[in-house]
Amino acid sequence: MREISFRVVSEAPGRLEAKSDIPTICITAPTLEDLQYEAREALIEHLGPAHGTYRVRVQRPRCQRAAASAIRPLERRMAPCC
Q: For the segment 13-28, what is each residue's pLDDT rounded down to a tens digit? A: 889 999 998 888 999 9
- Give the global pTM: 0.65
Beta strands in 1-82 (DSSP E): 2-12, 15-20, 25-29, 54-59
Does the structure show a pLDDT above 80 at 31? yes
What pLDDT, on the 0 to 100 scale, is given for residue 68?
47
Q: For the segment 35-66, what is each residue's pLDDT rounded down to a tens digit? A: 999 998 998 888 887 777 788 888 888 764 44
What pLDDT, on the 0 to 100 scale, is given for residue 46?
86
